[in-house]
Amino acid sequence: MTARKIVVPVLALALACGVLAGAPARAQALKIGVFDAQRISEETAEGAKIKARLRKIQEDKQEELKKMQEELQKLQQEFVATAASLSEEKRKQLGIRIQRKQIELEAAQKSANQELQMEVEQAQAEWQQRVLRAVQEYGKANGYTLILPVEVIGYAAPTVDITDELIRAIDNPGGSTPRAAGGQ
């Protein structure tokens, strides 16, 4: 379990306890919401676009690597087929070409993995910020005291799940903020 997975629920619980303890004094109603970040990612149009973009990058990299692998296999087949009839010098040159292609392929594979990882990390960071902004805007507009991701809590009644509302808010950023259907 990561430190973040431990710290976030503890901080949320401390905040909720502080809010609960102070609520009677301020005569303020406590309104809590939860959301499923995975569902938001899967069910929003923006989340689907991000996944499609990353899938396209991955497919392009795989196609590029496949071509390089085919070139290498072609050279290896040529070597096997002609090795007996080639002079020592030609065999040596072909062997060196094969080794260079192998090195190029390995470097390209490493580079492709690193590039894809960087794209994924950047997309995740941007997406998390987008979801956080949507949660904050929705919470403020609808009078929520606390909104938590469902992944960090043990249980939440379905009536406090605002995932559907957040999906609509993210898919319709220019529209009016939908009013909470659930929440406490």
Domain ranges of the chain: 31-171
pLDDT tens figures, 56-77: 999 999 999 999 999 999 999 9
- Structure token digits, residue 12: 């949320």
pLDDT tens figures, 94-148: 999 999 999 999 999 999 999 999 999 999 999 999 999 999 999 999 999 999 9
Query: What pTM, to 2 d.p., does this model score?
Result: 0.69
The model's confidence at residue 10, banded by pLDDT at 50, 70 and 90, is very low
Locate tokens 């503890």: which residue?
Answer: 10
- Structure token digits, residue 118: 């960087």
Cα distances (Å, whole numbers) of residue 162 to 32, 44, 66, 156, 159:
10, 14, 44, 11, 8
CATH number for the domain whose boundaries are 31-171? 3.30.910
- Asked if residues 23 and 164 have their Cβ atoms less than 8 Å apart, the reply is no
At 35, which helix (H) or strand (E)?
A: strand 32-35
